[in-house]
Structure 1
Amino acid sequence: MSYFAAAVVRRPSGWNAAEVDLNGAGDIDEVADLLRDVDQDAEISLLFVESDDTYLAIMRLDEGEDLRVFGSDSAFAEESRLGALLVGDIKAPALEIDDVVEPVDRTAGSSDDDDENEPTVDPDADPVGDADLLADLGISAHRLLTLCAHEGMLPADVLAEVCKVIGCDNEVEELREA
């Protein structure tokens, strides 16, 4: 299983990022400890994990406490040890995709060209956890769920959009290129 794990921490001076090795982690608390270790004094610590170009998990700690987790699809927990580690304990769904993603209107007057420009929702997406964990940073639950549910959008695409909005896109891109 291939994955990319980027810890992004915010201090008064701005965002810093570091790649995190999750191979030795035995449970979610150890993953949280790895995130804390990036910067003990960070106001906000985020961990973005992309797995196999299919799944995205996001963890958040505020001042090293109150772990919050979001997963783009509950199937991640069933597909891998990493998925089970990150989202396996989450019981509640984030929200129903249908509750936050507007259905595409296919009434008369729509041309085939219009249909090609409309985003397609992945009917199998089953996000879990706290979809609101980035709301105060500019990514509402609705926006996060819409990004994750957009068929054909890779976790790297979702992460790029999220990082652009919260202002840490350069830091994460530098990690990706290293």
Structure 2
Amino acid sequence: MSYFAVAVGREGDDWEAAEVDLDAVADVEDAAEAMREAFPDADLTLLFVDADDEYLTVMRLDNGDDLRTFGSDAEYASQSRLGEALLGDLEPEDTEEIDSEDEESIAARPTELDAEPVGEADLLGDLGVPGSTLLALCAKEGMMPSDVVSEVAKSIGFAEALEDATGA
């Protein structure tokens, strides 16, 4: 299964992005190390992994520590070695606990999830992307992982850095 991975690091108010090679990743700690290497001085690093335009994994590393992960579908763990490394130890997301008071999230919410999200959907909540919004974007018909990343980038404020790094 092919993948595309991009790390985004924030130092103060400035964002930078870079493609990341995860071929040697055997577990989440290896992924965290790749994030640290990409942006060693970042106070916040995000990693977005798009697998075959079907599965999205989002990882967050605060101050080089405190790793949190979200996967759009638990099936990714059974479909690839990288999926197993990133998502294999995560529990399904309890979508009932996600704050759904935000009107935009309610309007965008799908009527039914076709996937089984895992990890922490609310890992970007303090950055302006509540868990309910992330879940809605992942479940939206016709929305590919790269589209979700673009929407998240616009919401958080690193769209320009992402475009510079990926050309997209």
Pick the TM interval, shorter chain. Answer: 0.7 to 0.9
Letter in 2 for 1:160: S
Aligned residues: 162
Among candidates 105, 127, 142, match of residue 152 of structure 1: 142
The alpha carbon displacement at 1:89 in A equals: 1.0
Q: Distance in 2 between matches of 1:138 and 1:100?
A: 13
Is 1:125 the counterpart of 2:115? The answer is: yes
Q: Distance in 1 between matches of 2:133 and 2:110?
A: 15
CA contact (8 A) 1:119 1:151 kept: no
Is 1:95 the counterpart of 2:101? The answer is: no
The alpha carbon displacement at 1:95 in A equals: 2.5
The alpha carbon displacement at 1:14 in A equals: 0.4
The alpha carbon displacement at 1:46 in A equals: 0.4
Aligned residues: percent identity?
49
Aligned to 1:141: 131
The runs of 5 or more residues in structure 2 that have no matched partner are 101-107
CA contact (8 A) 2:47 2:59 kept: yes
The alpha carbon displacement at 1:13 in A equals: 4.5
**Aligned Cα root-mean-square deviation (Å):** 2.2
Aligned to 2:154: 164
Structure 1 runs (4+) greater than 6 angstroms displaced = none
The alpha carbon displacement at 1:62 in A equals: 0.5
Q: 1:123–1:12: structure 2 CA closer, same or farther, 3 Å change rule? A: closer
> Alignment partner of 1:132: what SS?
helix
The alpha carbon displacement at 1:100 in A equals: 7.2
Q: Distance in 1 between matches of 2:39 and 2:99?
A: 34
Q: 1:33–1:172: structure 2 CA closer, same or farther, 3 Å change rule? A: same
Normalised by the size of structure 2, how large is the TM-score? 0.88
Aligned to 1:39: 39
In our comparison, the structure showing a higher alpha carbon Rg is 1
